[in-house]
Chains A and B, each alone.
Chain A
Amino acid sequence: DTAVSQTPKYLVTQMGNDKSIKCEQNLGHDTMYWYKQDSKKFLKIMFSYNNKELIINETVPNRFSPKSPDKAHLNLHINSLELGDSAVYFCASSTGTGGYTFGSGTRLTVV
C-alpha cells in the first residue's frame, strides 16, 4: 500500500487553465504539506494543514488554493496557470513530531 499517493503523476496544460492535484495519505498522520520543487531542485514549502486546518501559508500567489476535506486528504487547486508554475509538486505528511513522508510528486508543465 502506498503511504502518500498523489494524482496525477504528470500534468501538461496550457497557460490560463485551472488544474487540481490530489493527495491522500494512509499513515494516520495529522499534518499534511505541499512543497514545490523547482528546476534547480530547491524544495520550498507552500502550505501545511493540521487535522484539516490551515496552519502554514507561505507567500504563495492566491491562485493556489489548498483544500483538506479530511485529515487524510490535501488537494491543491491552481487557477490561471502561468509558465512559472511549472515544477514538481510534492505532497507530504507527518505526525508533527518527526520526519515527513513524501508522495511521488506531480510534474506540472505549463505550455
Chain B
Amino acid sequence: GENVEQHPSTLSVQEGDSAVIKCTYSDSASNYFPWYKQELGKRPQLIIDIRSNVGEKKDQRIAVTLNKTAKHFSLHITETQPEDSAVYFCAASIITDKLIFGTGTRLQVFP
C-alpha cells in the first residue's frame, strides 16, 4: 500500500522568510497530492492540491511542485506570516481511493 514520508517534522522561520516542506510517496500509481493545514484544535483544511498531470501549481503565496519520476512533492510558502503557523500535512492517493497522510510538519513563524 501507499506510504508517505514527510520532512521536516518541525520548521521554524522568521516572518517574511520562505518555508519548504517535502514529501515522498511509494506508490507510483498515486495521482492526487493535496496539502492540508491544521491550526491548533481545528480541523485539517485543504490549502492546495496537485494532480499527476501537472508539475507545479501556485496560489498566491503557496505553491506545490511534483516530481513523478522521483516520487517527491513539496509545499513552498513564501513571505511567511505568523498566521501561517500550523501543522501542515501532505497526502497522496489514487483518485477515488483513500488519502494516505504524511506525519505532519509543525511550522512556526516568528515575528
- Total of A-B residue pairs, C-beta within 8 Å: 43
B25 at the interface (CB under 8 A from A): no
Which residues of B lie under 8 Å from residue A66 when comparing CB positions?
none
Q: Is the CB of B96 within 8 A of A104?
A: no
Q: Is the CB of B98 within 8 A of A42?
A: no
Q: Which of B46, B98, B103 contacts A45 (CB 8 A)?
A: B98
Q: Which of B44, B49, B103 contacts A102 (CB 8 A)?
A: B44
Smallest CB-CB separation from B104: which chain A residue? A41
Q: Is the CB of A105 within 8 A of B95?
A: no
A97 to B38, CA, bound (A): 22
A29 to B101, CA, bound (A): 21
Smallest CB-CB separation from A56: which chain B residue? B98
Q: Is the CB of A104 within 8 A of B42?
A: yes
Which residues of B lie under 8 Å from residue A48 when comparing CB positions?
98
A105 to B45, CA, bound (A): 12
Give chain A's interface secondary structure class.
Answer: loop
Smallest CB-CB separation from A6: which chain B residue? B43
Scan A60-103; emit 1 where CB is below 8 A from any B CB, else 0.
00000000000000000000000000000010000011111111
Q: Is the CB of B101 within 8 A of A43?
A: yes
Given known contacts A43-B89, A102-B44, A102-B45, is B99 in contact with A97 (CB within 8 Å)? no
Apart from A42-B104, A45-B99, A104-B43, list 20 A-B contacts with CB within 8 A. A41-B103, A42-B101, A42-B103, A43-B101, A43-B104, A45-B100, A56-B98, A90-B44, A96-B95, A97-B95, A97-B96, A98-B32, A98-B95, A99-B34, A99-B49, A100-B46, A100-B99, A101-B46, A102-B45, A105-B43
